[in-house]
Amino acid sequence: MRFSLAKKLILIYLLVVVLLTGVLGVVLTSSYRTELTQMRANELTECATEITKLFETGQLSIVDSLYLNFSLSTLAKNYHAVFLLADSDGNVMYEITADGMKGAQPARTLDTNVINTLENGKNYVREGYYNKEYNAMMVTVAVPIINQKTGDLYCMINISSNMNNINDSYYKILSKLWLPILSAVIIGIVLVSFLTYRVTFPLKEMSNASRQIAKGNFDKVLDIKSNDEIGDLADSYNIMAKELAKSESMKRDFVANITHELRSPMTSINGFVQGMLDGTIAEADYKHYLNIVSVETQRLNKLITEMLDLSRIESGVFPLNKSSFDLNELLRRVIIKFSQNLDEKNIELDINLPEGKTMVYADPDRIEQVVQNIFDNAVKFTPDGKSIRIWTVISNDKVFVTIEDSGQGIEEEHLPYIWDRFFTADRARTSSKNGTGLGLPIVKKILDQHKQEIKATSVLSKGSTFTFTLELSKIIKKEF
């Protein structure tokens, strides 16, 4: 049988209340009963003490049975008790009740424990015991009466009172005690049910929303306003749903983009190869079209390589191998790789680097990939006869590397998205430049791994500027 959270919370509350009230009730009522019994014992002890004083002062005497009967029967009535007057040996002479005094019939003696206690000059008290003779719970007090002239034991007085009055008071207290307890339990159940609903309702909402997410519906937004952990959980859920929706959208875009990027070169390759096979393309033109196939193959290879690189970086399989190296030398090496492209487009290169070495601490292979990707874009989108500027600035233990092109620029609203996979502000332009849309995302991921920053600014028709930071090597830091 499945118990909901609400049922479990209410059940736990009931168990706690039952245990708590049960223990407290037993302790309190038991203490109260004991207190009542103790009070009755004290009252009987005071009564016995007063009778002892009357005997000792001569106001009461065994000989004056008439006055003795009147005095003790009155006390017996007031205290709801039975008086036993015994001689010095413990033999009961008179039994006095509210109805009067009579001789002990049949003859009997006081309990041995009572006699022994009184003979030693001590008072006897026994509380809350069952007396077979009276068929009731009793409280008994017995005191010795001493002959003041001789100092001998004169007689014994035994007072026993049943606990019926005590029990009546006890049960009245119980009835008054359990009624508010029961009311408190009922009110508590109502409050706990309400609070449980306040807790479980948002959880049910989140559970239902989670099922919607499992079905691919990421539009469910929880409208839960609660200034506690439940509210924090709901906010976290909404953030998670938003991120999952974004991730799902990116995944769909990725599949669409990668399909487009792969289909275009594959279609070209297939078309040219098929044309050669079926004779559509003359054998004399094979070299020309095979060159095109080679270019498309290289484009495919580059796309696959960049996809693998990006996947490894994101999965953490691409660990950094940091070391100190000369950044100026790395920049010169990258520029040399693009020298042919620069010459073909007659691009002027303006380089402003510090004299000597600029030692940085990073992974040289990954930083070379960063510079190469940014510089590659700069060369692609800089028109013939224009210029590219490269310079570095050292500030606050960091090197700021800037690459500025003279291309057509990027619209401001597109700048935040240039780090996303396959994002291109102008796909036709990118395709014409053989772009994959993965170069800048790789740059961003590599620099994030290095815990460095990169920023891009752009002005339409004037060009784009990319600036990223690198950490100075410790050797350089000591010099500043």
pLDDT at 315: 67
Task: Please name the CATH architecture into which domain 229-314 falls.
Answer: Orthogonal Bundle (1.10)
Mean predicted lDDT score pLDDT of the chain = 82
Using pLDDT thresholds of 50, 70 and 90, give the confidence band for residue 333: very high
Report residue 436 as tokens: 């994959």
Higher-scoring residue by pLDDT: 102, 15: 102
Q: Is residue 370's pLDDT more than 90?
A: yes
pLDDT at 191: 78
Q: Is residue 303's pLDDT more than 80?
A: no
Q: Is residue 2's pLDDT more than 70?
A: no
CATH fold of 5-169 reads Beta-Lactamase (3.30.450)
pLDDT at 477: 47
Give the residue extent of every domain in the chain. Answer: 5-169, 229-314, 319-479
Using pLDDT thresholds of 50, 70 and 90, give the confidence band for residue 217: confident
- Report yes or no on whether pTM surpasses 0.75: no
Tens digit of each residue's pLDDT (9 = 90 or more) over 424-469 = 544 433 434 455 677 898 899 899 989 999 999 999 889 999 999 9
CATH fold of 319-479 reads Heat Shock Protein 90 (3.30.565)
Using pLDDT thresholds of 50, 70 and 90, give the confidence band for residue 204: confident
Q: Is residue 266's pLDDT more than 80?
A: yes
Tens digit of each residue's pLDDT (9 = 90 or more) over 252-264 = 766 776 776 677 7
Mean pLDDT confidence for 115-135:
87
